[in-house]
Structure 1
Amino acid sequence: SGGDLTVGLAETVAVLKSLPREQQPITHVVPSTSLKRVISKAQAMSAAMGDTLISVDQLLIATVGDREVSSMLAKAGITEDKVKEAAAKIRSAAKQRTPSGAHDDRQHGDDEESVIDMYATDVVQQAMDGKLDPVIGRDEEISRVVRVLSRRTKNNPVLIGEPGVGKTAIVEGLAQRIVSGDVPTSLMGCRIMSLDMGALIAGAKLQGEFEERLKAVLKEVAESNGQLILFIDEIHLVLGAGRSSDGAMDAANLLKPLLARGELRTIGATTLGEYRKYIEKDSAFERRFQQVYVAEASVVTAVSIL
């Protein structure tokens, strides 16, 4: 927005230090009149723009419009108009990179079909079509996945938890955030492709046929400039668990160099037992992933889900 970040940070710290401190633990927080006004303004903007949810940029613009905040930021050369202009540019860039636009822009020539669409499901498209249920009580895990994906290196989260705890639901929650724009710029417009290992293996009778299919999928992901994120449920299967063919081991070997070069962003999911039994034993594969542990939902969360 063209402001002086150093001055803005200094002004923010000064204001925070001037506020009274509460020594005792806070058990009940009551929103101030200013906060209610900001949320109300953000809701009005969201409705005017046809959004179903309040987005981060709408909250930011509403906050900057507050008299005290506006006065503080003005000293750093930041105005409400500048913030609106910056937010509009981000939204415009995101629209050009939307998953639906990505479907339209891909050109395959004649009757050629996208390889990844043959062997994977677009979770973000499912979210856009309203086919996913709301994800309750997993904000912390979703935020952790977002942080890992936004890294420069080791940006491949692997969700580790017992069967049925909601690992796939976390990926669906991330897809819903992408649709609503509640993600960093690096994830805006991305598509999460849930790889169907069964479809890749099915009918692959000839030697090397499975590997060729997987190579084609990985090539398409690598050439997407970060717009395609691969989700592999039961990721330990690529290391040969449960299969006697050499294809599974070759699958891991195909993934490793792409992960090492940062050409592939992947979300994996597996149980703690399978992770220790298979993935930990392959250090070259394991070190490309950042563990995100998924515990069982609390009683309160479970009741909310029901």
Structure 2
Amino acid sequence: MTTGSVNRAHLVERALEAMGASPLPAPLGPPAPPAAERQPAEPAERPVYAPAARPLAEPRPAIPMAALREAGLAFTVEAKARSKFMEELALVQHQLFRALEPAVGEARAAARRQIIMVTSARRGEGKSFTSLNIAASMASTTARPVLLVDVDGGASSLTARLGLTAERGLMTLAREKDFSRELPLRPTAIERLSFLPHGSATVAEARAANSDTLALAIRSLASALPRHVLVLDTPPALATSDAQSLAAVAGQVVMVVQAESTQRDEVEAALDLVDNCPLLQLLLNRTRLTTNDSFGAHGDYGATEHA
């Protein structure tokens, strides 16, 4: 990622600087030698844990749509009108998909490119809501399967909202370091969308599974599921060290910022902590100001109007 200047006059400058970097880092080293002089290609980098996961022995019950709605799902395929929310979500999804497209000669970065990390500077900015709706939207509009991963695990996390706190999950994988067993993924009522709970853990186990351990588990999970897009609902960057460690293995970071609430210095500090990711994007949440030249200012497209 690009190094930021020490003195930043405006937050916009920091955001543009963060988002202005290329989605993937440029290859380092001298130009490749002629074909006749090239050495045999090095074997692909081995994943941290065994990447092959056996199919689930028995189908796990799908998370019903009612539970997803209760957890904060606002996306719907059968919307009668193209609402402002749906259009804004489509724009966000388009930006994320652009970064998922592979570049020539960068096949080894595929595992990292498929990981989308969603975080915020502090709690209460809507990152879990954003993670859930982004994952549902991507799964509904693409042929690629999407896995929503709860890295947070707090009292108001997606795992808690869905009533899955007692199930195996990410913490279990990080603790066992065994990806040859069946993965504890839960299907959902949305086709191609699955969910990985945070996973129950004692206080001692939670302390043992530090940020670096979680990052290794996420990287191995991506290797075990090469066709999946992973959407990580990550703790706030200023709350734990998880965001900084996971940014090092993620292909892109979505920083959710609550409009008219989060302070500029909080956002800048959070961006500094995750700038080891090649692509940072800001998402302004809960905006209330609408002007004639803003997106969605003229109402829901396709909605029925009454005189």
Task: Give the alignment's TM-score, normalised by structure 2.
Answer: 0.37
Larger radius of gyration: 1
Task: Give the alignment's TM-score, normalised by structure 1.
Answer: 0.37
State the structure with bigger RCO (CA 8 A, min sep 6), 1 or 2: 2
